Structure 1
Amino acid sequence: MAHTLTAPHDVVSGASAPRPAARRAASGGMAAGPLFLAAGLAQGFARDGFDFTRNAISQLALGEAGWIQTVNFVLTGALLLAGAAGLRRALRGGAGGTWGPALVGVFAVSFWVAAAFPADAGAGFPAGAPEATAMSGHGAVHMLGGMVGYLALCAAFVVLARPLAARGLRGWAVATRLVPVVVLAGFTASAASVLAFTAGAGLGLLWLAAVTARLTGIPANR
C-alpha cells in the first residue's frame, strides 16, 4: 500500500518541469515578435514614402536603408529558432513536443527566406517607385516563403493548444486555436487592405511569444 501511495511522486515526465536551459532558449522566441514589430514600426514611421495602409513591412528591406530590415529578418529568424529549441526541450515527451517546435522552426526559416529574397517595390515605396510593378522571381519566392511560414505558424498554434490544455490552461488553449483564424483572415483580406495583413501577421508573432512564455514557464503536471 505504501508503494501505491508514493509511486506517483517518483514518476515524473521529462516535460513536467521546464528546465532553466529550456527557458533560456525559449527567451529568443519570446523576444522575436515584439522586437521584429518594434523595428518595423520604427522604420515605417521614419522612412520617406512608407505608408502602413499601402505598404507591407517586408518592403522596408528595399532602398538605401533596407539593410536594417534585412538584419531584422535574419535576427528574428535566429531568435525564433532558439525559441523552437526551447519549446522542444520544455515539451519533450509530452503533447505537441515534436510537431509544435518543428512548425515554429519552419516559421523561423521563412524569415531567412524573406531576407534572401526581398519583396518587390510598389505602392510608391521606395520613394519614387511606381504604384504597380510586375512580380519578379525574388518577389515570388518572398511571397511563397511568407505563405509557407505563416501556414506553419497557424498549424503550430493548433498543435501547441494541446500542451496548454494539458497544463489546465483551457482559456489559453481555446484562444490559441482561434488566433490562426484571425491570422488567415488577415492574409485573405490582404488584397483589399495591407493593414489587415500586417495586423494578422503581427498578432501571430505576438501570440507566439505569449504561448512560448506560457509553455516554458509552467510545469506540465500543473
Structure 2
Amino acid sequence: MLPTLSDAPTVPVPHPTTQRWSAGGIVAGPLFLAAGLAQGAARDGFDFTRNALSQLALGGAGWVQTLNFLLAGTLLVAGAVGLRRVLGGTPGGTWGPVMVAVFGASFWAAAAFPADAGAGFPAGAPDATAMSGHGAVHMAAGMVGYLALCAASVVLARSLAARGHRRWALASRLVPVAVLTGFAASAVSVLAFTAGAGLGLLWLAAVTARLAAVPPAA
C-alpha cells in the first residue's frame, strides 16, 4: 500500500517564542566579540597583545563596552531560557541551561565592576597598577563565568550525544580544555586569553544553534 500523508513522520517545530529565546544565545558571543574587536581597533592606546577586551570599559568611551557587557549578558540569559525550553526533560536539559545563565550573569557583574587600568590603557595609564576592589570582583566574575561556560559545554555534550551529534559532543568536551589553556597562558600572552575566551563564546553560539535546530539527528 502506498504511504499517505498521515503516514509521514512528524517533524517537531520549536515554538516561535522558543526560537526567539534561543536566538539570544546564538548571537551573544559573535556580537560581543565583534563589538570588542571594533572598539579595540578604534581606541587610542589599546593593544590586543597587551590589553584584555574588558579594559575597553575604561576611559571616556568605556560606556560602549559596559553596554556591550550588559547586552551580552542579557542575550546569554535569554539563550539559557531557550535551551531550557528546547532541552527540558532530556540529558543535560537542566544543568546545561543553568550554567549558561550563570555565564550570562557574570557579564552583568563584569559591567558593574570594571577591570583595572594597566598595560598602558587607557592612554597614559602605567604598565602596572595595584589591584582595586572592583578589579578583583571583575576577575572573580570572569573566573566563575568561564568555569560555568566550560561546565555547560561538558553538560551540553550529553544533549548533543543524545540527539546523535557524536562529533559535536566530542568537540564540546574538548573545547573547555582549549579555553582553560588560554586562561592559564594569560600571564604570558593576553592574546592567548582573548583567543580562549573567544573560542568559548563562539562554541556556545554554535552549540545553541545546533541544539535549537530541528529535526534532531537520528
TM-score normalised per structure 1: 0.91
Q: Which residue of 1 aligns with 2:176?
A: 180
Aligned residues with identical type, % of pairs: 75
Q: Which residue of 1 aligns with 2:195?
A: 199
Instruction: Identify which of 57, 60, 63 aligns with 1:64.
Output: 60
Tell me the distance in 1 between the aligned counterparts of 2:148 and 2:215. Answer: 25
Unaligned runs of 5+ in 1: 1-8
Give the aligned CA root-mean-square deviation in angstroms: 1.5
Q: Secondary structure at the match of 2:201?
A: helix
Q: CA deviation at 1:221?
A: 6.5
1:45-81 Cα distance to aligned partner (Å, 9 max, x none):
0000000000000000000000000000000000001
Q: Which residue of 2 aligns with 1:81?
A: 77
Tell me the distance in 2 between the aligned counterparts of 1:159 and 1:218. Answer: 20
Matched, 1:49 2:45: yes
CA contact (8 A) 2:54 2:114 kept: yes
Q: Which residue of 1 aligns with 2:134?
A: 138
Q: CA deviation at 1:167?
A: 1.0
After TM superposition, the structure 1 = structure 2 runs for residues 1-222 of structure 1, keeping only pairs within 5 Å, are 18-220=14-216, 222=218
Q: When the two structures are aligned, how many residues end up with a matched partner?
A: 210
Tell me the distance in 1 between the aligned counterparts of 2:19 and 2:209. Answer: 8
1:144-193 Cα distance to aligned partner (Å, 9 max, x none):
00000000000000000011011111110000000000000000000110
Q: 1:219 to 1:211 in 2, by over 3 A?
A: same
Unaligned runs of 5+ in 2: 1-8
CA contact (8 A) 1:73 1:114 kept: yes
CA contact (8 A) 2:165 2:217 kept: no
